[in-house]
Amino acid sequence: MTALLHERVHLTLPDSKRHLPFSFTCPEGASGLRVEWEFGPPGGGEVRSMINFSLRGPAGFRGAGHRHGTRHEAVLGEHFATPGFLPGAITPGRWEVTLHTHLVAQGTHGELVVTALNEPPALAPTDPVIPANERTPGAWMMGDLHCHSNHSDARWTVSELARAATARGLDFLALTDHNTTSGRAVLGGAAPHLLQLPGVELTTFYGHAVALGVEDCPDWTAPELGCGMAELASDVTQSGGVFTLAHPFAPGDPICTGCTWTYFDLRPEGAAHLEVWNGPWRGDHNERALAYWYALLTRGHRVIATAGTDAHGPNYDPGHGFTFTPRVWDGVALLAQLRAGQTYLSRGAGLDLEVRSPAGPVPLGSTAPGGRWLARARWSVVPEGSTLIWVADGAREAVSIEGEGQLRWEGEVRGWLNLEIRTGNGELHTLGNPVFAERCPA
Ligand SMILES: [Zn+2]
Ligand SMILES: [Zn+2]
């Protein structure tokens, strides 16, 4: 073992929300690297310092360990890496470890140590392959577009997540760990029966965003002081990905660092996709996001609503919302439907929703000539005491429903038409994305 870097780091409160790079040179012939970061004191009460690190080698990004706690370690070799980091060649040359000070709650002393390993790190046992859930595929498929594993700060492993997703009947899954894509290869091995989308949650200091369809983690450190996110969003969408503003009204610092959306250069009204259902429905931040989304639709913005369980283990919650979309067999087609908003969000209504404009049937998320529209909703499972609400241009028409059944709706639409199903206690059970009416030429 050879020491390559040994830094003593002193941080004060104003050092919060900074990226502190430290470079070191990896010699020829090293079989592995160990990076250790330890700091103290941890902070007081509920307000805990969150300072973790990412790693970059001569060939590019090598992962991140977005976790809480005061002791962090990453070991990397050609065929092994600590969860969050990417295995691969230990290339000689200039490497960089960057401390990310998400929150410095009080004056802090830390030590950052990098050592070169003479022996390759031992291989971890391979995770077992999760058996598929045998069932007849229906016309709609169900998935989760925002969840975490032990490759960032979750309590469950990738295999445990895959097992829960399979038991819940999911057809597709996007693992969106914080600032790393290292879990994707593990998920591919553990659950080949799930259609998988590459994903990552860009966990910046001023807001979180879910990027789907991106193979590598985009550089999330560029946005500063609430600016620079518009450019990052455009990079993701231009490379074929889908960029979603996550949990815009979640409580932020110091409880959940960076969780409230505060970017000045990308307001939620400028977003194409907005996560209105994050985690279990309970809690008022989702109700606020939904009301905000309706206000955007009323003002003529074309924004697609999304759901993400944001599950961190140890299981899915009955209040989680999943994404439903017409069945496809590959990730490219799935991503295209998600981009278009051909989706409804639900705990599992078994919903079939058809909208017909004067020009014919219209898929959810698309646009049709305004006028007299017909819609039909059929559902197979909703709890007793539920209410179905048609929302046409913001006007709400509620009908009591339960069990299995169907309803028709007919009326004038000039802006948009969507539907909600609420449970007896008023919580959201299902939310359909709208069909939009063509606007009059200006
Ligand atoms: Zn988040
Ligand atoms: Zn998340």
Query: Could you read off the pLDDT of 191-232 as tens digits, one per residue?
Result: 999 999 999 999 999 999 999 999 999 999 987 777 888 999
How far, in Å, is the centroid of ligand 2 from the Cα of 233?
Answer: 17
**Alpha-carbon torsion angle 113, 41, 83, 255, nearest 10:** -140
What pLDDT, on the 0 to 100 scale, is given for residue 275? 98
User: Does 68 lie in the same domain as 35?
Assistant: yes
Task: Assess whether pLDDT exceeds 90 at residue 72.
Answer: yes
Task: Assess whether pLDDT exceeds 50 at residue 189.
Answer: yes
Query: Which positions ≥6 away from 15 have C-beta within 8 Å?
Result: 101, 104
**pLDDT, average across residues 280-299:** 94
Ligand having the closest approach to the CA of 312: 2
How far, in Å, is the centroid of ligand 1 from the Cα of 278?
Answer: 9
Between helix 183-190 and helix 158-167 the angle, nearest 10°, is 50
User: Does 185 lie in the same domain as 105?
Assistant: no
User: Does 391 lie in the same domain as 275?
Assistant: no
What pLDDT, on the 0 to 100 scale, is given for residue 440? 60
**pLDDT, average across residues 170-193:** 96
In-domain check, residue 135: no
Summarised one tens digit per residue, pLDDT across range 398-432 is 999 989 999 999 999 999 999 999 999 999 999 99
User: Does 255 lie in the same domain as 395?
Assistant: no
How far, in Å, is the centroid of ligand 1 from the Cα of 258?
Answer: 8
Q: How far is it, in rounded angstroms, from Cα 377 to Cα 379? A: 7
User: Does 338 lie in the same domain as 364?
Assistant: no
In-domain check, residue 406: yes
User: Does 273 lie in the same domain as 222?
Assistant: yes
User: Does 76 lie in the same domain as 7?
Assistant: yes
How far, in Å, is the centroid of ligand 2 from the Cα of 244?
Answer: 12
Query: Which positions ≥6 away from 307 have C-beta within 8 Å?
Result: 145, 146, 275, 276, 277, 278, 320, 321, 322, 323, 345, 431
Ligand having the closest approach to the CA of 144: 2
Ligand having the closest approach to the CA of 203: 1
Classify each residue of 238-263 as buried b or exposed e, where b means 16 or more C-beta atoms within 10 Å of its C-beta: eeebbbbbbbbbbebbbeebbbbbbb
CATH at residue 81: 2.60.120.380
Report yes or no on whether pTM surpasses 0.85: yes
**pLDDT, average across residues 389-404:** 96
What pLDDT, on the 0 to 100 scale, is given for residue 224? 76
How far, in Å, is the centroid of ligand 2 from the Cα of 428?
Answer: 20
What pLDDT, on the 0 to 100 scale, is given for residue 386? 97
In-domain check, residue 127: no
Task: Assess whether pLDDT exceeds 90 at residue 122.
Answer: no
Which of 114-118, 176-180, 222-226, 392-396 has the weakest average pLDDT? 222-226
What pLDDT, on the 0 to 100 scale, is given for residue 271? 87
How far, in Å, is the centroid of ligand 2 from the Cα of 176?
Answer: 7
| C-beta atoms surrounding 168 within 10 Å | 18
To which residue do tokens 């989680």 refer?
A: 320
Are 167 and 147 spatial neighbours (Cβ–Cβ below 8 Å)?
no
In-domain check, residue 123: no
| Domain finish residue from 346, 373, 391 | 346
Ligand having the closest approach to the CA of 204: 1
What pLDDT, on the 0 to 100 scale, is given for residue 203? 96
Task: Assess whether pLDDT exceeds 90 at residue 282.
Answer: no
How far, in Å, is the centroid of ligand 2 from the Cα of 148?
Answer: 6
| Domain finish residue from 117, 150, 167 | 117
How far, in Å, is the centroid of ligand 1 from the Cα of 57?
Answer: 27
How far, in Å, is the centroid of ligand 1 from the Cα of 370?
Answer: 37
For residue 251, what are the domain limits?
140-346
Task: Output the CA–CA distances (angstroms, integers) from residue 176 to 93, 98, 180, 218, in the order listed.
Answer: 30, 21, 8, 13
User: Does 384 lie in the same domain as 328?
Assistant: no
In-domain check, residue 429: yes
Ligand having the closest approach to the CA of 311: 2
Summarised one tens digit per residue, pLDDT across range 59-69 is 999 999 999 99
In-domain check, residue 134: no
Q: Sorting pLDDT into bands at 50, 70 and 90, what band is 123?
A: confident
Maximum Cα–Cα distance across the chain: 75
How far, in Å, is the centroid of ligand 1 from the Cα of 195?
Answer: 23
Task: Output the CA–CA distances (angstroms, integers) from residue 306 to 225, 251, 287, 389, in the order listed.
Answer: 26, 19, 13, 18
Task: Assess whether pLDDT exceeds 70 at residue 442.
Answer: no
How many domains is the chain built from?
A: 3
In-domain check, residue 442: no
| pLDDT-above-70 percentage for the chain | 99
How far, in Å, is the centroid of ligand 2 from the Cα of 147?
Answer: 6
Ligand having the closest approach to the CA of 146: 2
What pLDDT, on the 0 to 100 scale, is given for residue 192? 94
Strand partners, 322: 346
How far, in Å, is the centroid of ligand 2 from the Cα of 310?
Answer: 5
User: Does 375 lie in the same domain as 327?
Assistant: no
Q: Sorting pLDDT into bands at 50, 70 and 90, what band is 16?
A: very high
In-domain check, residue 62: yes
Average pLDDT, the chain: 94
User: Does 324 lie in the same domain as 396?
Assistant: no
How far, in Å, is the centroid of ligand 1 from the Cα of 367?
Answer: 31
What pLDDT, on the 0 to 100 scale, is given for residue 133? 84
**pLDDT, average across residues 381-405:** 96
User: Does 86 lie in the same domain as 192?
Assistant: no
